[in-house]
Amino acid sequence: MINLETPRKFRALVTQAQQVAAQYYRPISRKYDRAEHSYPKELDLLAALLDGMNAGSPESTGARTSKRQHDSGDGVRNGSNMSTCLGIMELCWGDVGLLLAMPRQGLGNAAIAAVANDEQLQRFDGLWAAMAITEPDCGSDSAAIRTTAVRDGDDYVLNGEKIFVTSGERAGAVVVWATLDKSLGRAAIKSFVVEHGTRGMQVTRLEKKLGIKASDTAAIRFTDCRVPAANLLGNADIDVAKGFAGVMETFDNTRPMVAAMAIGLAKASLDRARELLEDHCALDYRKPLLQVSHAEAQLYQLEAEWEAARLLTLKAAWMADNRMPNSKEASMAKAKAGRMATEVALKCVELCGLTGYGEDELLEKWARDAKILDIFEGTQQIQLLIVARRLLGKSSKELK
């Protein structure tokens, strides 16, 4: 049974993440929001410190952890998925964009952790990997991927274009989703680790964005890009019966992480709104809603939405650590948290009036940052579609 308290063994990690958020992220948050595409050099020292503190420990605050780390033993576990989500919640209280810009903490690392074999896990350990899925004609429907991978001797030759690749320019490698055979549909989609500097791989542009400006978002073109066959993650065989499941395990890892980002940002917004409104709202949780001001009632409602999203996220992470199928729960957490973060951030700006709307307050920045959390790693609509399929027992062909 899941326990709703923070596991004792993770409390030091949570404290560490809180300190990083307050002492490293917050002081430079606005600086790199204004300097889009500038690399936050302060993160190099921070990454080195975190590597030192996490050395020898299977638990860390990075996206490279995997639900496969604890394969033996019985009983309830709180493992790497839980620790990662707890750490992300605290770090994103500081700044979501800076978390996404952290060296060696890319979403591609989660893909490697979910799909790679033991040899690949060892070979790619310490690599900073971005993840490239979206294409100009392929958004939330990952099965519509058109980037191709053709076997040629000991290599695969990749051709295609990827867009909206988080850390696509800065990361040391990109995990690229490509199809081995378009005629076989989803079953032929595999993921490949392509290191920067590989001939035929070119970053064509960096996107200008509404929020998370500390994080670079790249478009990458692959033209006859030769990748070693050993860099195909997991099994190269096309299993039509299993279909897309192996590659999609990546999302079961990453969607709770994105939900955790949303929870951290929303908590920052709520905390700051309470501070700015403390002279106008004497928050008293003992009073019925009918006896408090409208602003107080709004804050209580937002807090309830935040807590619901937080618990859904912890459940999805806990299920992954305990090797339970969590696709439905991961999508539920991502859908709820993404929508909640946008609602909370915008409502906090509204409650704080002109103060919350100005650049002197980080509330304005958080309201812009929040929207991406409802979009990437699968939009709100796609998450609800996945949940419906799981609840009704329908396939993607039966329920579109």
> Is 208 within a domain?
yes
- 72's torsion region: left (phi>0), alpha (psi -120 to 50) or beta? beta
- Output the CA angle 95-97-103, nearest 5 degrees: 105
The neighbour count for residue 347, using CB atoms within 10 Å, is 20
Over residues 277-320, the pLDDT tens digits come to 988 887 888 888 888 888 999 999 999 999 999 999 999 999 99
Average pLDDT over residues 132-146: 84
pLDDT at position 27 over 70: yes
Query: 36 is in which domain, residue-wise?
Result: 8-123
d(CA 72, CA 61): 22
Residues 103 and 179 in one domain: no
Report pLDDT for 30.
Answer: 97
Region 251-266 average pLDDT: 94
Q: Are strands 173-179 and 129-132 parallel, antiparallel or unpaired?
A: parallel
User: 260 with 380, same domain?
Assistant: yes
Contact (Cβ atoms closer than 8 angstroms) between residue 189 and residue 178: yes
Range of lowest pLDDT (74-78, 289-293, 344-348)? 74-78
Domain boundary among 191, 208, 231: 231
The percentage of the chain sitting over the pLDDT mark of 90, rounded to a whole number, equals 69
Is residue 361 pLDDT above 90, yes or no? Answer: yes
Of residues 3 and 67, which shows the higher confidence score?
3
Residues 245-273: what's their mean pLDDT?
Answer: 89
pLDDT (mean) for 78-91: 92
* 261 and 304 both lie in a single domain: yes
Which of the 8 DSSP states describes residue 188? G
Is pTM beyond 0.85 here?
yes
Nearest to 208, CA basis, from 38, 25, 29, 378: 38
Count of domains forming the chain: 3
Q: Which CATH number do you get for residue 44?
A: 1.10.540.10
Q: Within this chain, do residues 183 and 272 fall inside the same structural domain, yes or no?
A: no
The answer to whether residue 3 sits within a structural domain is: no
Residue 377 annotated among the catalytic residues of the structure: yes
> pLDDT-based confidence at 383, cuts 50/70/90?
very high
pLDDT attached to residue 243? 53
Question: pLDDT digits over 165-176, tens only?
Answer: 999 999 999 999
Q: What φ, ψ does residue 152 adopt, rounded to 5°?
A: -145, 95
Cα 56 to Cα 261: distance, rounded to the nearest angstrom: 26
- C-alpha 170/C-alpha 44 separation (Å) is 12
* Domain match, 319 and 377 both: yes
Residue-wise pLDDT tens digits, 187-215: 899 999 999 999 999 999 999 999 999 99
The CATH code of the domain that includes 321 is 1.20.140.10
Asked if residue 139 and residue 117 are part of one domain, the reply reads no
Q: What is the pLDDT of residues 28-62, one digit of tens each?
A: 999 999 999 999 999 998 887 666 555 444 444 44
Q: Give per-residue pLDDT as tens, 231-245.
A: 999 888 887 655 565
* Tokens describing residue 67: 């639900």
The band of 269, judged by pLDDT with boundaries at 50, 70 and 90, is very high
Same domain, 97 and 184: no
Distance CA 93, CA 263 (A): 8
Domain-terminating residue out of 201, 231, 261:
231
- Residue predicted with more confidence, 115 or 153: 153
Amino acid 291: pLDDT: 86
**What's residue 234's pLDDT?**
87
Structure tokens at 125: 């350990």
Task: Answer yes or no: do 253 and 226 share one domain.
Answer: no
pLDDT confidence of residue 65: 45
What integer is the mean pLDDT of 372-399? 93
Tokens of 60: 């860390």
Q: What is the rounded average pLDDT for all residues in the chain? A: 89
pLDDT given for residue 238 in this prediction: 82
Domain final position from 101, 123, 145 = 123
User: Which of 74-78, 191-195, 266-270, 360-364 shows the lowest per-residue confidence on average (mean pLDDT)?
Assistant: 74-78
- Provide the pLDDT confidence category of residue 257 given band limits of 50, 70 and 90: very high
Are residues 374 and 251 both part of a single domain?
yes
**pLDDT at position 240:** 66
The pLDDT of residue 217 is 96
Question: Contact at 8 Å (CB) between 269 and 94?
Answer: no
Same domain, 225 and 282: no
- Stretch among 17-26, 213-222, 278-287 having the lowest mean pLDDT: 278-287
Q: What are the C-alpha distances in Å from 151 to residues 147, 178, 193, 239?
A: 14, 12, 15, 17
Query: What CATH number does the domain containing 225 carry?
Result: 2.40.110.10
Classify residue 1: in a domain, yes or no.
no
Question: With left for phi above 0 and alpha for psi between -120 and 50, is residue 323 left, alpha or beta?
Answer: left
HEC string for the chain: CCCCCCCHHHHHHHHHHHHHHHHHHHHHHHHHHHCCCCCCCHHHHHHHHHHHHHCCCCCCCCCCCCCCCCCCCCCCCCCHHHHHHHHHHHHHHHCHHHHHCCCCCCHHHHHHHHHCCHHHHHHCCCCCEEEECCECCECCCHHHCCCEEEEECCEEEEEEEEEEEECCCCCCEEEEEEECCHHHHHHHEEEEEEECCCCCEEEEEECCCCCCCCCCEEEEEEEEEEEEHHHECCCCCCCCCCCCHHHHHHHHHHHHHHHHHHHHHHHHHHHHHHHHHCCCCCCCCCCCHHHCCHHHHHHHHHHHHHHHHHHHHHHHHHHHHCCCCCHHHHHHHHHHHHHHHHHHHHHHHHHCHHHHHCCCCHHHHHHHHHHHHHCCCCCHHHHHHHHHHHHHCCCCCCCC
User: Is the model's pLDDT at 218 over the cut of 80?
Assistant: yes
